[in-house]
Structure 1
Amino acid sequence: MQSKIKPRFDLTYAKLSAIGFLIIILVGAILLSLPIASRSGDGTPFLNALFTATSATGVTGLVVYDTYSHFSIFGQSVILVLIQIGGLGFMIIATMFLLLLRKKIGIRERSFLQESVNTIHIGGVVRLVKHILVGTLIFEAIGAIILAIKFSREMGIKPGIFNGIFHSVSAFNNAGFDLMGRYEAYSSLTRYSGDAVINITIMTLVVVGGIGFIVWEDIYKNKYKFKKYQLHSKIVLFTTALLIFGSAIAFYVFERNNLLVDTGVKESVLSSLFQAITPRTAGFNTIDTAALSEGSKLLTMMLMIIGGSSGSTAGGIKTTTFIITILSVISLVRHSEDLNIFGRRLEDSVLKRAYSIITMYIIGACVGMLLISLIQPGLALSDITFEVLSATGTVGLSTGITRDLNVLSRLIITVLMFCGRIGSLAVLMAVVESKNSVLVKNPLEKIVIG
């Protein structure tokens, strides 16, 4: 009688995702540490290269070096590739190569793809991936052309084209890396705070990349017929619009007597909209983040926690998680047992997952804050909180303390960026996940909450 041989490697998606991103980061770090990757030709210390590779693959944007000033064209190109892989996810990239090589994509690969893009149904997932790849190419190409035309006028044709491509990919993938160090180190897009074309192009790319692949597919199939959209798409679009315009108004109120006091109407509107969009994991800034009022910094941190949408290039707890949590509070206040939105009732398991994600996010951020505060007590708690939330939410905004972090603090931020990209819950599942089913349940007993 022939016994069944247990597969040697039986990886779940959580484990595969963690291992895959870790390998990509390590390869990127090795390439960025090479002498050819730096302008000086002296190479980059491996820890700093690892930090940069994690930030790029995690589409975060926190940097210990100005990208333009420190890295050569080769180094910048490596960062660009890492951003693209990190934004789309290595499973989508791997599927792209399988499709190009005309290889068969089995059920196991399709189930991994389903989890990678966070789609509800496994059917049609390969078609969805094809649409994602084509859509990404189209959006990034359009953005690159518009930005290249603008940049070429002041940088020259070749630098203008490269900058157009780099910033388009960085914006679409919500990465926040920039090459504006040619004018002023660590200045991001502050030079273009009043430029409507660049602001609108970057904001559009960030929003499109941040709403998620599932929403793309819904819009592609149903066009402008909002009633036919899936519930997920309705929630994402509604929440995104609410956060953008509500936050823009709030930023203007907070900054009208601060950073916007001497600006015109056009620049004030652009800056308020940009500052409302960028904290939700984009990482670019057109105004000095460190000079924001306390109210604006608090609002920015709240938006960094929320982040973008599920199945997108963005990070954070996600818009759906945020809105479900709000709905649960409303439901509890109204003594209702169901979560209802847009005429539909949500599953009870969704709320459990939402609370788990938020709990893991808060625990990870708090541990990071405590450790950095212990290691470097001279840093202001508000700056540490901003930095940690930026890393955990894969945002990339900073009050300027990234370069002041010592070795241990940078390692903590590196770990937080890694967890933020693949999800803290996914990291925990990759470590402790068990498929053993529980056959016997413990006796039920009630406790007092609140």
Structure 2
Amino acid sequence: MTGLRRRILRRVTAVPPPLMLALLYAGFIVLGTALFLLPWASRVPLSWSDALFTATSAVTVTGLIVVDPGTQFTLFGQAVLLALIQLGGLGLMTFAVFVLAALRVPVGLHGQIYLREELNQSSLHRIMALVRRIFQVVLVCEAIGALLLCFTFVPLQGFWPGLWTALFHSVSAFNNAGFSTFSEGLVPFATDPVVNLAIPALLIVGGLGFVVIDDILRHHRWSRYTLHSKIMLTGSLGLILWSVGCFAVLEWTNPLTLGDYDSAAARLLVSWFQGVTPRTAGFNTVDMAGIHDSTALMVISLMLIGAGPTSTAGGIKVTTFVVMCLATVAFFRRRTQLSAFGRSIPLTEVLKVMALTAISVMLVFLGVFLLSATHEGHFLDVSFEVASAFGTVGLSRGFTGELSLFGQAVIGVIMFIGRVGPLTLGYFLATRAHPLVRYPEGRIHLG
């Protein structure tokens, strides 16, 4: 028996850490699918495709749905959904450090390099300290969020149903999942002050990334923050201001969205909520099918950018977008060195940005092509759906319900890659191989 355990352990340790994590995600999706197919999980029996799509959306914390969780799932089914959201949202950090470090599974030199770079730590001891910080932050934030939301949902539904609804939405918001137990989403609470305070706050904190949160909690001065934290905080603030302002300007007189509200305060409140959610979660307080095409394009760009590394959100990440912008500015200014906040950014990081962006664009383009070729629908709706799946956002213009079995498979794969793809790519980018042969430089014409 001991020999068998050694052989199993040897084979497990030989698996690259990102592949192991991807398999864990896949395992949770299969487990969730099986649980959703249980007769006591739903009021109406689910097809295997709907169960698989829902489980994939939950584990990848996307929020795209083909069934209504509030009406079709029983309490057990909603609890399974919530557990998958929690595991999926924390999987990137928790499994990377807890499974591979706490269980003392060797990850190899390149795996350690990847974990150290991805979590911005210098030792396994510091990584385990970060794990403890993660659980502390999760418990505190979700508890505070649920407590605040109780002030809205308990008077509406009663104590126990309201408490469950508050907890469900708090966990869903912090993990940037966007699942709701209300058939209309949060549209009925568009001007509710508690919902507009608690949900965006949870989305922002969950989207910053635990490395940034840990940095803020350990250092109370801006000068002591790491370069990563400074870029994330300034980049996130800039994107929030941009998205809130753009949504307000573009939709101010649209009778299907902001124009439906009489007061300027109500319109600004709705703009605040809808400006925060596109980069992270699929909550909405207006009908996304009613927004202008220009607004839809703005939302697509935000969904593709996403939130922060080591966070519960998807996309190419804010840091990738900021470094790409800095590299572009440096090129036009003919600078040979990239820097920010008094720190230089190595060329290897710029190459990673280029690789991540190129792969993301190709994946989104392929998804749009496959859905356009197999489905009838507005091109913008298709693009919106694919961008939402890749960014694990969950916003939709009503196209999710039109997906065929093939379409669900395409979106499911995009959701999965959008969640675990950057992790796998980061591992291979972290490996370094020195060329055995050097060739003379050649000249090509670009642009």
Q: Is the 8 A contact 1:56 1:83 kept in 2?
A: yes
Q: Is the 8 A contact 1:419 1:427 kept in 2?
A: no
Change in CA separation of 1:142 and 1:98 when aligned onto 2, cut-off 3 Å? farther
Q: Is the 8 A contact 1:60 1:283 kept in 2?
A: yes
User: What is residue 329 of structure 2 aligned with on the other side?
Assistant: 330
Q: Does 1:8 align with 2:11?
A: yes
Give the letter for the 2:378 counterpart.
Answer: A
Q: Identify the range of structure 1 (264-273 vs 55-64) with the bigger mean alpha-carbon deviation.
A: 264-273
Shift, 1:274, TM fit = 1.0
User: What is residue 33 of structure 2 aligned with on the other side?
Assistant: 29
Give the letter for the 2:52 counterpart.
Answer: L
The TM-score with structure 1 as length reference comes to 0.91
Q: Percent identity?
A: 38
User: Separation in 2 of the partners of 1:435 and 1:274?
Assistant: 43
Shift, 1:313, TM fit = 0.5
Shift, 1:104, TM fit = 6.1
User: What is residue 85 of structure 2 aligned with on the other side?
Assistant: 83
Q: Larger helix proportion, structure 1 or 2?
A: 2
Q: Does 1:59 align with 2:55?
A: no
Change in CA separation of 1:44 and 1:441 when aligned onto 2, cut-off 3 Å? farther
Q: Is the 8 A contact 1:62 1:396 kept in 2?
A: yes
User: What is residue 410 of structure 1 aligned with on the other side?
Assistant: 408
User: What is residue 126 of structure 1 aligned with on the other side?
Assistant: 128
Shift, 1:96, TM fit = 5.8
Q: Deviations over 1:98-128 (max 9, x none)?
A: 99xxx66466399399369632423401001
Q: RMSD across aligned C-alpha pairs, in angstroms?
A: 2.5
The TM-score with structure 2 as length reference comes to 0.91
User: Separation in 1 of the partners of 2:97 and 2:440?
Assistant: 46
Q: Is the 8 A contact 1:364 1:424 kept in 2?
A: no
**SS of corresponding position for 2:308:** coil
Q: Deviations over 1:187-223 (max 9, x none)?
A: 1100100011111100000000000011111110112
Q: Does 1:234 align with 2:234?
A: no
Give the letter for the 1:374 counterpart.
Answer: A
- Partner of residue 254 from structure 1, selected from 233, 239, 250: 250
Q: Does 1:426 align with 2:424?
A: yes
Q: Deviations over 1:34-64 (max 9, x none)?
A: 2111113xx2111111110010000000000
User: Separation in 2 of the partners of 1:261 and 1:90?
Assistant: 40
**SS of corresponding position for 2:107:** helix
Q: Does 1:359 align with 2:364?
A: no
Structure 2 residues without counterparts, runs of 5 or longer: 1-6
Change in CA separation of 1:437 and 1:48 when aligned onto 2, cut-off 3 Å? farther
Q: Does 1:47 align with 2:45?
A: no
User: What is residue 179 of structure 1 aligned with on the other side?
Assistant: 181
Q: Deviations over 1:316-341 (max 9, x none)?
A: 00000000000011000000011111
Q: Does 1:303 align with 2:299?
A: no
Q: Is the 8 A contact 2:323 2:350 kept in 1?
A: yes
User: Separation in 1 of the partners of 2:425 and 2:95?
Assistant: 21
User: Separation in 2 of the partners of 1:427 and 1:127?
Assistant: 26
Change in CA separation of 1:301 and 1:438 when aligned onto 2, cut-off 3 Å? same
Shift, 1:90, TM fit = 6.2
User: What is residue 184 of structure 1 aligned with on the other side?
Assistant: none
User: What is residue 287 of structure 1 aligned with on the other side?
Assistant: 286
State the aligned residue count: 433
Q: Identify the range of structure 1 (136-145 vs 88-97) with the bigger mean alpha-carbon deviation.
A: 88-97
